[in-house]
Structure formats: C-alpha cells, structure tokens
With several copies, the nearest count.
Chain A
Amino acid sequence: MSVRISEGTPNAGTPATGAARTPRMADHLNAALHTLLESDPRVFVLGEDIRDPYGGAFKITKGLSSRFADRVLSTPLSEGTLVGAGAGLALAGEKAIVEIMFSDFVTLAFDQIVNFAAKSTTMYGRPVPVPLIVRCPTGGRRGYGPTHSQSLQKHFVGVPGLSLHELSPFHHAGELLTHLLSLGEPCVLFEDKVLYTERIFRDGVVDDLFRFDLVGGPSGWARVGVPGETRYDCTLIAPGGLTRRALAAMRALLIEDDLLCRLLVPARLYPLDLAPILGDVTGHVCVVEDGTAGGTWGAEVAQALYPRLWSRLTRPIGLVSAADSVIPTAAHLESAVLVGEDTIRLAVREALS
C-alpha cells in the first residue's frame, strides 16, 4: 500500500502561492499527521479502523500505519477506552492523538475526558501534563442521520483543564496540532466533515472579494474582511466548519443587501481569548455555530462579549445555531434544521433591518 499525500512529501510545509490550487483539508490534515509522527517519536495515534489500507472512515490517517506501524493503532469499538488509553500514554510521557470515528460517539468517552484526562492536569495539586488530542469528525450535511451528524462542542465548554478547538480552512493544521500537544492539557479538536472535502485558504486570499489574516498564534483567530474596510455593519463570529456558509452569506449580503460583514474564526473555541479581536468587532455582532439551540457555544461567546462591548452595543448579540431538534436523515428535512448560508444571511438582515 503506497502512501498518498496530496501535499507532496510529508515534509512539505511551505504553503503554495495564493494562485496555486490549495490542498483539500483532508489531505492537509493527513500531511500534518505524517509530519508530526515523523518529527516526534513520542506521538501515537489511536482510533477505530485508522490503519491502512482503510486509513480511517474519513481517510485522515491514510498512510500513517504503513510508515509508523507501532504508533498508529486501530482499536476495537471502545471509545471510552481508546481515549483513556490515550490519556495513559500521555501520563507516561508520550503524546496521544485519538480519533473518534464520528464525534457523536465522544459521548461514550465523556467520563474519560471530563473526569480523568482534564481533571488529572490539576487535581493532584500540581500541574500534571496530559498531552492528548481527541479528534472529532463533526457535523451534518451528509445525510448520516441523528446519531452521526451532531456538533457537540457545547457540551465540552467549561470543563476545567480542557480546551476546545476546531479546524478551519485558514489555520495551519500541523501548527495547530503541534501547538495543542505542547499545552500539556487534553484538547478536543472538532473537524467539520464537509470541510474535509474543501480546499484550505493560504496567503491571505479567500476569493475575489475577501482576504484574511491570522492573529493570536496557531490557535488564534482568522480575520476575514474586505481589503481596506475597517467599519463593518456586522461582525460574524463562527467556528471553522461554518466558513463556507458564512462566506456565501457575506457575499450575498454585500452584493444583494449592501451590508458589509466581517468574519472572525477562532481555532480555539474555549477558553475564549477575545483580546486579539476585540478591536475588530464592529457593528452588529452575530455568533454562528452548528450545534443545536440552547446552551450553545455562542451563548458563552455572547456572555463574554456583553460586558466588554456594553457601551458600543446597540442591539443584543445575535445567535445563530441549528434548530432545537435531532438532525433528520433525509436531505430536505436535514437542511431545514441545520444552519445554511440563508440562515445566516437572514439573521443578519433581520437584525439590521
């Protein structure tokens, strides 16, 4: 089984120029894992069906086991235990990346994450490093149905000792993974399943309208806007999985509704570090996410922003999320429940009308 890595050699770290075709997220992430395993002999990857020739349900681990056979291990169907074993590796001085095949099943590892991995970093009275990343392929829009389509980020917000992250097409996956493993605390990394199939952005270029830059380090913020503009009618804040839908909404809002939006995408969802972007929040603020309504990540963003923006805000912060509903399988029912580009556009338009 030959290794197929679309970014060229596993070492290829230099971004292509803006004009060239950028890799798809799945290949970009796969290449990042290759590089990481190669450069750090302490890194293990565990997960269901991750070995070659299968290479994982979403092929993110393709080629890894062929190169690093003793550190890339397919586990039985035991989500709790594969996370626990990752924590054990981490305690013993290794670094562990574990894959939950569908993030929906991370519920089975909730105890290991909340009550062991996260707590161990502080409950023994001194800092105990637990370098562990729990990778969670996430989200709907693929018709997989109620138990294979969820975005469960919100349930992990506010666990002491645990940080939450999400892949975005702006942030470099390899730098992010390296950074997360350096934190010494367990991280849950959400990865939008549709994003896997999309191309990443590089060199500050999004498209003909929008440009981006990065602030706040490898897990900081991507700031997307129109070159030269500083005052926006609306600031959208959204995790990486929402990027394409947010961009499409921004384009329509600009061209058809004459509303100028900026988009801010954090790689680290929690703890929130608002400092790098506080100055960039102008106009109406709207937090967009894929999770269902109620107890959302957006509510956390909003509660952190209200006191900081109190004098500037002219209306309540808007929250856009999926409906308070299971995610149906049939495409026409699923799209009625999930956040689409129209949901975002409508929310902004209504708030500003």
Chain B
Amino acid sequence: MTSTILDRDTVPLSPPSGEDLDRLLLIRHFELTLLRLFGEGRLNGTTHTCLGQEYVPVALRPLLDDDDYVFSNHRGHGHFLARHDEPHGLLAEIMGREGALCAGVGGSQHIYHRRFLSTGVQGESMPVAAGVALSLKRAGDGGLACVHIGDGTWGEGAVYEALNLAALWRLPLLVVVEHNGIAQSTPTTAQMSGTIAARAAAFGAAHHRTDSIDLNLIRLELAEPVRRVREEGRPTVIEFVTRRVGPHSKGDDTRSAEELTRVRAADWYVRYAAAFPEVFAAADEAQRLRMARITDEVAARPPSVWRAAP
C-alpha cells in the first residue's frame, strides 16, 4: 500500500494535547540546550540534534507499546525522549555525569535503555531489528520492532538485505524514514535514485508517506498501517517528509540562506506557535524552564562512573 498525502503546510493544524505539546517542546529545548552547551565549550565530542523533526517520534508515541523495540540512530534524542521522559538520564549520558543512561560510555549516539537502542553506524540496526522482530513474532504477543533511519541511510545495502528478510519471513518490522532531504551535506537527489516508495514496494514492504506535521492527523493515518505490522507481520515503511532545521551536527550547515529560510518557515515549532499562540507560549516557557533546571542539576553532578568497565 502506497499513499501520498499532499503538502499540508497551509492546512490548519488540529489542537495538540497538552502532553503532546510538552513533549515536543521538551525535545526542542533539550536540543537547543545541547547546541548552547557545545557553543559554551561545556560539552565535548559531537551531537546531532533533531531540530525540526521532533514531532516524528512524538506522533508515533501512542502507536507504540512498551514491549515494542525502538532502534534509533545518530539523531536519536527525540526518539528517546518521546519514549522515555528521562531527560536527566539522557543529558547526563551526553555530559558524562552521574545518572547517565549508559554510564557515559555510549554518549549521544549509543543508548540502550529498556527496549530503546541506538547506535552510530548507519543502517546497521536494520538487520538487528529484523532479528528482534523474528523473536517477537515467535512470541506472538503482537510486538514490533521499529527502526528510525534517515533518507541518506538508504545508501546502505544492509537496509535492503533486512527488508528482504523481513518481507520473506513476514516479520513485524516498522521502518520509520525521516526524509529530511539531506544527509549530512548531500541532498537526497545526489544520493538516492528512485523513491523510497518504490524501494519499499520492490521488497514487498508496505509504504505510507506523510508530509503532515499534525500529530493527530499523522496518528490517524498511521494507526492502520501499524496495526497491520503487528497483526499481519507486514513489514512497513513509513516515510515522513520532514525538515532538518538545525545543522547536521554543530555549525556544519552549508545550505543556502534561501533553503534555510524555506525549511525554517515549515518548522512545526513556528507553525504550532502561530496556530495556538497562548497555550504554545506557556508550554514553551514551561519546558524551557524545566530544561534549564535539568541542565543546572545535571551539570552539577560528578562525572559518571563506569562500573562495568572491562
């Protein structure tokens, strides 16, 4: 099944729940905080923020169960925070402080917490998720394995090998593609021939494309495809047409000013703020403050201890 929803940038947004708005804005302020901390020289290493894409995992939130596995990638803070309201643990992980999710060993890109797992090699999670999905299928409880990948990651052969396997074995694998039109610095047109829809179809996977940023609408659209993943073991690719509003990692955005203006105008943050100015402003301020408190608190902690060091 392939369906395409036309561009909705101009369609009015439905009102988000307070919980949804909070989650969206928590992620936004989490990411902004990271960039600020880097700018101040208080973080080392690297990070990839999901600015502009926060709504993707938030939209998926109620569609996923606790027992589902979620595989995330380099741009995974939003994926994590949408699933687990543990910004302290995540920030501590990135800052290498006590209370870190993975003792500071994994850092931004390598998180394993309950059934959430991220890693930094693009495409590598797809075969792993297929294996997990095989186990879930055998358990027969309707669980699924959800993998987040970007458009650029469709360059990796592992994606196709895993899709093939999942379709052959009818595995409950949900591939969520955040198609933001760019991979690091390379536009999708320079790295992907054909379309994601056609690629899914070619491997016998269902495909659903949405360019909505409206959480409620997205959930309506996706409920049925996700149900079929669970109940029919039908591997499915969900393609979000989205935008990366920030740099790839830190300060490495080489897109033109026009391009950035275009991208920023479509930011969910701008559009929700315009559509629901009062509730938005209040929620925004609340999450900004929450994040500021979290940051102060975590920054004051001692360095993490790696108890399981080999």
Is the beta-carbon distance between A80 and B157 smaller than 8 angstroms?
A: yes
Using a Cβ–Cβ cut-off of 8 Å, how many residues does chain B contribute to the interface with A? 68
**Bound Cα distance from A175 to B110, whole angstroms:** 34
Q: A77-B183, A80-B161 are in contact. Are A88 and B105 (CB under 8 A)?
A: no
Q: Which residue of B lies closest to A59 (CB)?
A: B252
List the A side residues contacting B52 at CB < 8 Å: none
- In the docked arrangement, what's the CA distance between A93 and B69, Å? 13
Does B229 reach chain A (CB closer than 8 Å)?
Answer: no
| Chain A residues closer than 8 Å to B161, beta-carbon distance | 76, 78, 80-81
Asked if residues A115 and B132 are in contact (CB atoms below 8 Å), the reply is no
Q: A125 at the A/B interface (Cβ < 8 Å)? A: yes
Bound-complex Cα distance A115 to B107 (A): 16
What is the number of residues of chain A that contact chain B, defined by CB distance less than 8 Å? 66
83-135 of chain B: CB within 8 A of chain A: 95-96, 100-112, 117, 119-124, 126-135
| Chain B residue at smallest Cβ distance from A125 | B103
Q: Is residue A331 contacting chain B, with contact meaning CB distance below 8 A?
A: yes
B186 smallest CB distance to A (angstroms): 5
Binds B, one of A223-231, A253-261, A319-327: A319-327
Q: Indicate if the CB atoms of B155 and A124 lie closer than 8 Å.
A: no
Nearest Cβ in chain B — how far from A122, in angstroms?
A: 6
A139 to B79 alpha-carbon distance, docked (Å): 28
CA of A96 to CA of B108, assembled, Å: 29
6 closest cross-chain pairs (CB), A and B: A88-B131, A84-B127, A329-B107, A330-B96, A143-B45, A125-B103
- Chain B residues with Cβ below 8 Å from A112 are 124, 127-128
- Using Cβ atoms and an 8 Å threshold, which residues of chain B touch A53? 185, 254
Tell whether, in the assembled complex, residue B153 and residue A77 are in contact, meaning their CB atoms are under 8 Å apart. yes
Within 8 Å by CB of B156, from A51, A77, A94, A122, lies A77
> What are 28 sample pairs from A and B whose C-beta atoms fall under 8 A apart?
A44-B134, A48-B186, A49-B183, A49-B185, A54-B185, A54-B186, A54-B252, A76-B191, A78-B127, A78-B155, A78-B157, A82-B127, A83-B127, A84-B128, A87-B128, A91-B117, A91-B132, A116-B119, A116-B124, A120-B112, A127-B308, A147-B110, A326-B310, A328-B103, A328-B306, A330-B100, A331-B45, A332-B303
CB pair B128–A329 under 8 Å, yes or no, is: no
CB atoms of B109 and A124 under 8 A apart: no
* B290 at the A interface (CB under 8 A): no
Q: Which residues of A lie under 8 Å from residue B168 when comparing CB positions?
A: 76
A331/B96 in contact, CB under 8 A: yes
Contact A111 B124 (CB under 8 A): yes
Instruction: Please name all residues of chain A whose beta carbon is closer than 8 Å to the beta carbon of B46 when the two chains form the complex.
Output: 142-144, 148
The residue in chain A whose Cβ has the minimal distance to the Cβ of B102 is A125
Cβ A145 vs Cβ B110 within 8 A? yes
CB pair B190 A92 closer than 8 Å: no
Contact digits for B252-267, partner A, Cβ 8 Å, 1 yes 0 no: 1010000000000000
In the assembled complex, A86 has its CB within 8 A of some CB on chain B:
yes
Judging by beta carbons under 8 Å apart, are B131 and A148 in contact? no
Is residue A269 contacting chain B, with contact meaning CB distance below 8 A?
Answer: no
Query: How far, in whole Å, are A68 and B191 apart by their CA atoms in the complex?
Result: 19
Contact A147 B120 (CB under 8 A): yes
- A123 part of interface (Cβ distance < 8 Å): yes
Q: Which residues on B sit within 8 Å (CB–CB) of A123?
A: 102, 105-106, 110
* Residues of B122-163 contacting chain A, CB below 8 A: 122-124, 126-136, 138, 145, 152-158, 161-162
Q: How far is the CB of B8 from chain A (nearest CB, A)?
A: 29
A85 within 8 A of B: yes
User: CB distance A143 to B44 under 8 Å?
Assistant: yes
Task: Report the nearest B residue to A141, measured CB to CB.
Answer: B44
Q: Given A70-B138, A120-B112, A332-B303, A77–B191 Cβ distance below 8 Å?
A: yes
**Which of B110, B124, B157, B169 touches A329 (beta carbons < 8 Å)?**
B110
B residues 161-209 touching A (CB-CB < 8 Å): 161-162, 164-165, 168-169, 183-186, 190-192
Q: Does B304 interact with chain A (Cβ within 8 Å)?
A: yes
- Given the complex, which residues of B lie within 8 Å of A119, measured CB to CB? 119
